[in-house]
Amino acid sequence: MEQLIENKLIKADKAFSEWRKVPFEDRQKLIAKAAEILKNNSEKFGTIITQEMNKPISESVAEVEKCALMMNYYADAENILKPEKIESEFSYSEVHYVPKGVILGVMPWNFPFWQVLRFAVPSILAGNTVVLKHASICFGSGNAIEEVLLEAGFPEGIFQNLEVSHKEVKGILEHDAIKGVSLTGSGKAGGEVASIAGLNIKKSLLELGGSDAFIVLDDGDLDEAAKAGVKSRLQNCGQTCTAAKRFIIDEKIEDAFLPKFIEEYKKYEVGDPMDKETKIAGMARPDLADELEKQFQKALEHGAEIILPLERISENEFRPGLIRVQEGNPILQEELFGPLGMVMIAKNDEEALKMANDIPFGLSNSVWTKDQSRQLFFIENLESGTVNINRMTSSDPRFPFGGSKASGYGTELSLLALREFVTARTVVGNYE
């Protein structure tokens, strides 16, 4: 391991020994200050995001502003890490929540600020320190986040960006200073990191891919569902884990819904990412566009039908595509990370549920129906970390966020995230 990285890990470990003693409320004040800096400079930081991974500037600015919103949530949050007294016959009878130490974040390029801060803020508020291995195209975002926290008054070593390659993650994770890891990324990357963490008996949190179902039933609001469905599929050029990817449509409304859906789909025309009016721009890298094109061809080879062709117009730009897919097509077992959606037709609610659950992933689903009993049927039976009723998927700082099955494990956001990287220590005994 390079000496520079070794020094940063040691620095993070030393910083932890002091940071863990800082009162919860004082940590919150620094988080609030950092949120203010982000909000006041959202255009500046949004430009960094767009320049690095091509996201439309309006979405990049919104991402930064959402980070500030999330940080203010934690700045005002209840301290659920206070010692809890347990009724018993003992003099000492408490549970203490003890921060673990230095936590490694391995983060992706699709939300360069949000993914990092979503993990880092509750981890730091809980008393840990953080080192970040960001995606190679997003080192600028990582450095900017570090600078924001320093400007806000966080001591040096609380958050450090490491400009390292994926090959160096193993050595960093195995380092004695690292006590846990949070990864947002692909299933392959998650499995590799979790294996290393497991062999070294270190806590891991994984937020992995998804192939979320967007289920539209015959009594749903078809106009709203069409607008929300297209936005969910195509925002961030379709490069979102929680994006709607499989549109499961009740056969009774196929002829009524699909024209509305296609009309909304066609409104997303590729434009300049720096133009505030642009809804969709290019993908983050040409190799990612290559992979999506291969998946499109694979789907067609196994019987998928084109509704709107996926047309490549540059090395990383597409006119968004839409295909009709039958059960059994192997593409359904994969995640499409780009502007390509899949439509499936269900005969009834039971078949729609089966289609939704019959994949390896379980991140977040959306169901459109006005009938409460039908809503409850899907709420109780969908295999996912989140179920949205008559709305598209979007994460909210107030609510837990995490997946099931191959979509990962552990909780981000909400107060529950404060307990991900702490040890619940039992203190029990008698005064002498």
CA dihedral 200, 202, 205, 210 (to 10 degrees): 10
**pLDDT number for residue 431:** 86
Q: How confident is the model at residue 432 (pLDDT cuts 50, 70, 90)?
A: confident
Residues whose CB is less than 8 angstroms from the CB of residue 270 and which lie 6 or more positions away in sequence, other chains included: 280, 281, 282, 313, 317, 318, 319
| CATH fold label, 213-389 | Aldehyde Dehydrogenase; Chain A, domain 2 (3.40.309)
Question: What ranges do the domains of the chain cover?
Answer: 3-208+407-429, 213-389
Residues whose CB is less than 8 angstroms from the CB of residue 204 and which lie 6 or more positions away in sequence, other chains included: 180, 181, 182, 183, 193, 194, 197, 198, 410
CA dihedral 274, 276, 280, 282 (to 10 degrees): 0
Supply φ then ψ for residue 408, to 5 degrees: 110, -170
CB 208 within 8 Å of CB 187? yes
Any idea what DSSP says for residue 425? E
Say which of 241, 264, 334, 420 is annotated catalytic.
241
Q: Tell me: domain 3-208+407-429, CATH 3.40.605.10, correct?
A: yes
Dist. CA 327–CA 313, nearest whole Å: 30
Average pLDDT over residues 399-415: 97
Mean pLDDT of the chain: 97
Say which of 207, 264, 317, 412 is annotated catalytic.
207
Q: Tell me whether residue 241 is one of the annotated catalytic residues.
A: yes
pTM, two decimals, is 0.96
List residues bridging with 364 in a β-sheet: 386
Dist. CA 397–CA 122, nearest whole Å: 11
Range list of β-strands (E), 358-415: 361-362, 364-368, 386-389, 404-405, 408-409
Range list of β-strands (E), 349-414: 361-362, 364-368, 386-389, 404-405, 408-409
Cα of first residue to Cα of last residue in the chain, in angstroms, is 49
Dist. CA 393–CA 275, nearest whole Å: 25
**Alpha carbons within 13 A on the beta-carbon side of 333:** 5
234 is written with which tokens? 């195509």
**pLDDT number for residue 189:** 94
CB 318 within 8 Å of CB 270? yes
Q: How confident is the model at residue 35 (pLDDT cuts 50, 70, 90)?
A: very high
SS3 state at 210: coil
Q: Tell me whether residue 18 is one of the annotated catalytic residues.
A: no
Q: How confident is the model at residue 340 (pLDDT cuts 50, 70, 90)?
A: very high
CB 250 within 8 Å of CB 346? yes
Q: Kindly report, residue by residue over 285-322, the tens digit of the pLDDT.
A: 999 999 999 999 999 999 999 999 999 999 999 999 99
Phi-psi region of 108 (alpha: psi -120 to 50; beta: other; left: phi over 0): beta
Q: How confident is the model at residue 2 (pLDDT cuts 50, 70, 90)?
A: confident
Is 208 a residue whose pLDDT tops 90? yes
Q: How far is CA 144 from CA 131, 165, 261, in A?
A: 14, 18, 39
- Which DSSP helix (H) or strand (E) runs through 288? helix 286-301
Q: Kindly report, residue by residue over 40-89, the tens digit of the pLDDT.
A: 999 999 999 999 999 999 999 999 999 999 999 999 999 999 999 999 99
**pLDDT number for residue 1:** 63
